[in-house]
Amino acid sequence: MKEDAWIAAIRRWTGGRRRADVIAGIGDDCAILRPAAGQDLLVTTDLLIEGVHFRRGWLTARQAGWKALARGLSDIAAMGGEARQALVSLALPAWADERWAKEFYRGMAELAEKWNVAVVGGDLTRGRLFTADIVVLGSAPRGKALRRDGAKTGDVIYVSGALGRAAAAGYRDVPEPRLALGRRLRGRATACMDLSDGLVLDLHRMCAASGTAAELDGVLPAAPGATLEQALFGGEDYELLCALPPGARPPRGFARIGRMAPGRPAGAVWFAGARLKIVGWDPFR
Amino acid sequence: MKEDAWIAAIRRWTGGRRRADVIAGIGDDCAILRPAAGQDLLVTTDLLIEGVHFRRGWLTARQAGWKALARGLSDIAAMGGEARQALVSLALPAWADERWAKEFYRGMAELAEKWNVAVVGGDLTRGRLFTADIVVLGSAPRGKALRRDGAKTGDVIYVSGALGRAAAAGYRDVPEPRLALGRRLRGRATACMDLSDGLVLDLHRMCAASGTAAELDGVLPAAPGATLEQALFGGEDYELLCALPPGARPPRGFARIGRMAPGRPAGAVWFAGARLKIVGWDPFR
């Protein structure tokens, strides 16, 4: 297929009911969108590269498409937002034939459908390695988006699910973005982010941004089969990590894992009386 | 440097005055933006991959950064929009050291500064090939964004500059996005797009979307040193291609190159009495 035939096919694969918020989707130089009044706009972009973020054979094409979009949706969830639209840039190597590409878009479209996200554009090229960059646009009521830098000493730290799940599964499964849980934190959490690089590294980042330190409880909600090390340092769980003021009731679905302490130094993470080394998934490590 | 140190450095390199339209920039899960009321939102995303879109040695790091952003800004120009914010995802191979990356961001920041574009986020990873995905967000007054599908039979076709410039330069120069010229077409052009893949292929796309055909004039505004073939088929000029109703005066800076004819068949491009073969830059060719 030539580029124009690919674009026509992608348009079919990604569906496209008419929506009031999408004036023009795939096929022009830009997508034209109409944001709702009174809402702030959330934007995130994430690369998924063969050999870095996934290996052929570890995920099916459909799982790779799901995962690419799920990572972006998880960023919207972390802000307490609603996901609205997505764009996807792809570089297809020779091994990724039409069938593979179709399955990739199918996986993406399934997850998009589930959360009422419109696929409105992207870019397409050849490349030596399969590369996808996903852009997700979302919204939150003006001034209400959750950030990672607002945690205070004394806040209680929660997570939205079991830790170390992806690591225990050998990174061969795909995540469910926690959009519904994220929205429940709006107006309640002082800080929120998603767990992509491991609890300790991501919690360190929340603490560093907030000027606090964290004291983890002695017992953590580890996923079935996950080791303590996987629960502390395993990446790609895509659960939400948040802080709530002391005494605040967490929404259903969140488990307590510790509390925020004075930042001496900011960013320190304590567990079982010891200061943990800050490690996790870091491509530059 | 570890990932967090890279992100802190990128924040410095890309500047960051406070702006009313940027509530939170680099450093959280999403950028938080505040679109102006009464404006439609324009979004584009473009990949720039080593070995596909540029070769090391052909462009300096600074030129590569400029070019990556320029391609996105050109898409906003093609819609008659104002560019507002950009995000950039990078995969850095081992050869792209801190100095190279700094120069890349410097080239991007120079062009961003020129058009008052805020760099508000992105993604960063390692990779075997240098890969950048640029997202640009822009705006246009509600319902006023230019599209490629509105040309009518009888409309006159214009371009914003000389054709074949990039091809004649061996694709070793960097483009100037035509944002100011694009805005002047708002409310005047029936169709507009940017020339990324060559005049004939892109004009074919405008005609196919509009249901018209195109008859090129006998003489084209070729760039100094460009052959007729480079003017017709050379990619990466990033000039604007537009159609105006017959009798409408084009804005300063546009040169006439032909007119729209009935679409029999839609998408055909005629030159000197012959129907041209539709070729140009196509990664899937």
Q: In this predicted structure, what is the pLDDT of residue A202?
A: 97
Are A204 and A258 in contact, with CB atoms under 8 Å apart? no
Q: Using the beta-carbon criterion (under 8 Å), do A87 and B45 form an inter-chain contact?
A: yes
Question: What is the pTM (predicted TM-score) of this model?
Answer: 0.95
Q: In this predicted structure, what is the pLDDT of residue B283?
A: 81
Nearest CA to CA, how far is B201 from chain A (Å)?
10
Tell me how far CA of residue B64 lies from CA of A83, A132, A136, B84, B282, in angstroms: 32, 20, 25, 21, 21
User: Does the CB of A266 have a partner CB in chain B at under 8 Å?
Assistant: no
Residue B83 confidence (pLDDT) above 80 = yes
Q: In this predicted structure, what is the pLDDT of residue A104?
A: 95
- With beta carbons under 8 A apart, name residues in chain A contacting B24: 145, 147
Domain with CATH 3.30.1330.10 in chain A: 3-141
CA separation for the pair A64, A55 (Å, rounded): 9
- With beta carbons under 8 A apart, name residues in chain B contacting A85: 43
- Touching A: B residues 191-250, CB under 8 Å: 193-194, 205, 208-209
Residue A146, helix vs strand vs coil: coil
Residues paired with B215 in a beta bridge: B259, B270
Indicate the pLDDT class of residue A285, thresholds 50, 70 and 90. Answer: low
Q: Using the beta-carbon criterion (under 8 Å), do A37 and B37 form an inter-chain contact?
A: yes
User: Does the CB of A141 have a partner CB in chain B at under 8 Å?
Assistant: no
User: Does the CB of A150 have a partner CB in chain B at under 8 Å?
Assistant: no
ipTM: 0.94
Residue A161 confidence (pLDDT) above 80 = yes
Residue B150 confidence (pLDDT) above 80 = yes
DSSP string, A173-207: S-----HHHHHHTTTT-SEEEE-SS-HHHHHHHHH
Question: Mean pLDDT for chain A?
Answer: 94
Question: For residue B226, what is the DSSP state?
Answer: -
Question: For residue B262, what is the DSSP state?
Answer: E
Q: A156-275, what's its fold? A: Phosphoribosyl-aminoimidazole Synthetase; Chain A, domain 2 (3.90.650)
In CATH, the architecture of B3-141 is 2-Layer Sandwich (3.30)
Question: Mean pLDDT for chain B?
Answer: 94
Residue with tokens 């690419």: A68
Tens digits of residue pLDDT in B166-225: 999 998 889 999 999 999 999 999 999 999 999 999 999 999 999 999 999 999 999 999
Q: Which residue of B has its CA nearest to A144?
A: B32
Q: Which residue of B has its CA nearest to A238?
A: B29
Q: In this predicted structure, what is the pLDDT of residue B281?
A: 87
Residue B273 confidence (pLDDT) above 70 = yes
CA separation for the pair B28, B118 (Å, rounded): 16
Mean pLDDT lowest among A10-24, A59-73, A197-211: A10-24
Mean pLDDT lowest among A52-56, A257-261, B83-87, B164-168: A52-56
Tens digits of residue pLDDT in B13-62: 987 778 999 999 999 999 999 999 999 999 999 999 988 887 888 889 99
Percentage of the residues of chain B whose pLDDT score is greater than 70: 99
Residue B257, helix vs strand vs coil: strand
Q: Which residue of A has its CA nearest to B206?
A: A28
Residue with tokens 């950030």: A147
Indicate the pLDDT class of residue B256, thresholds 50, 70 and 90. Answer: very high
User: Does the CB of B36 have a partner CB in chain A at under 8 Å?
Assistant: no
CA separation for the pair B141, A114 (Å, rounded): 32
Q: Using the beta-carbon criterion (under 8 Å), do A27 and B209 form an inter-chain contact?
A: yes
Q: In this predicted structure, what is the pLDDT of residue A69?
A: 97
Indicate the pLDDT class of residue A52, thresholds 50, 70 and 90. Answer: confident
Tens digits of residue pLDDT in A228-264: 999 999 999 999 999 999 999 999 999 999 999 999 9
- With beta carbons under 8 A apart, name residues in chain A contacting B269: none
CA separation for the pair A262, A276 (Å, rounded): 16
Q: In this predicted structure, what is the pLDDT of residue A58?
A: 86
CA separation for the pair A230, A228 (Å, rounded): 5
Nearest to B79 among A30, A147, A284 (CB): A30
Residue A16 confidence (pLDDT) above 80 = no
Residue A17 confidence (pLDDT) above 90 = no
Residue B270 confidence (pLDDT) above 90 = yes
In chain B, beta strands by DSSP E: 22-24, 31-33, 39-49, 82-92, 118-126, 131-141, 156-159, 191-194, 212-216, 240-244, 255-262, 269-271, 274-275
For B243-270, b/e burial (b = at least 16 CB within 10 A) is bbeeeeebbeebbebbbbbebeeebbbe
Domain with CATH 3.90.650.10 in chain B: 156-275
CA separation for the pair B90, B101 (Å, rounded): 9
CA separation for the pair A206, A241 (Å, rounded): 9
Nearest to A46 among B31, B89, B137 (CB): B89
Query: Residue A122, Cα to own-chain centre: how many angstroms?
Result: 19
Residues paired with B212 in a beta bridge: B262
